Amino acid sequence: MDLEQFWQIIEATQAATQEEQLAKFKSELQCISADELVAFTNIFAQYKHAAYNWDLWVVVWLNKGGLCSDDSFSDFRNWLISRGRSTLEAVFANPDSLADMLDGIETGYPTFESFGYVPGQVYHELTEAEFPDSGLRHPKEPSGGDWLRPELKDRTGSKLLNFCVVFQEMGEPEYTALKPRLPRTWARCMKLGYLDETGPKKVERTDDRPTIDEIIATVDPSLKEKDMMAYLKAVAEAINKVYKKP
């Protein structure tokens, strides 16, 4: 399995809806061997890790009105790979180009969580075994982000383990740097009412409890990679603890 074969499979899955694309994706993967499936999944992971980038994340966060948790960004990266090689390479070259793509997508927010599960499902059906450990590990923190103050990136000692909270802490230095850097994103978000001249519009909070994203940010994101069920249980428990009825 080389890059050309990888992208041939991805391109062959293109469809009008995500449901159709999932069906095509599974069908394509069922035509390759178990070893090729492992190689395909490793390439997928390498691209997904490469997209773990502050510059790309802040573009998604801004274009979604300040709503892009660690989980959502993971699902976005699945979507980005699912769109094909030319789209991925265009966004890698210039994250701001994503703003031009979003108005035309047919699935609402650009996320595709289930796309990332298909290779594992097909492998299990083929071998009745779990995926072998590739040795690939998710980056500990995003790359890029030279416009971010170092103290914002540093989560040492913070109970908020997820990196998405960094965007909530951005201030004038970040927005001053981002505005000329992301002209298409800035124009789109101004038009949608997500931004004013200085940055995100302030929303008055009527509830002093933390938001769902803020609660999820207290759960160790690395647990998701190790044990999805344990991660979901921890998220549910954290939310219930705050929002349970008296």
Per-residue pLDDT tens for 77-95? 999 999 999 999 999 999 9
Per-residue pLDDT tens for 131-188? 888 888 889 889 999 999 998 888 776 655 578 888 888 999 999 999 999 999 999 9
What mean pLDDT do residues 122-127 have? 93
Give residue 157's pLDDT: 63
| Contact between 53 and 143 (Cβ < 8 Å) | yes
Residue ranges in 128-200 assigned as alpha helix (H): 150-153, 165-168, 172-181, 183-192
Residue 100 has pLDDT above 50, yes or no: yes
Q: Residue 117: which region, alpha, beta or left (left: phi > 0; alpha: psi -120 to 50)?
A: alpha
Residue entry with tokens 């101004």 = 190
| Contact between 141 and 166 (Cβ < 8 Å) | no
Mean pLDDT of all residues belonging to the chain: 85
Question: Which two tokens mark 110?
Answer: 């650009």
- Give the pLDDT band of residue 213 (cuts 50, 70, 90): low
Residue 246 has pLDDT above 50, yes or no: no
What are the extents of the domains in the chain? 3-129, 204-246
How many percent of the chain have pLDDT more than 90?
51
CA torsion, points 8, 10, 12, 13, in degrees to nearest 10?
A: 170
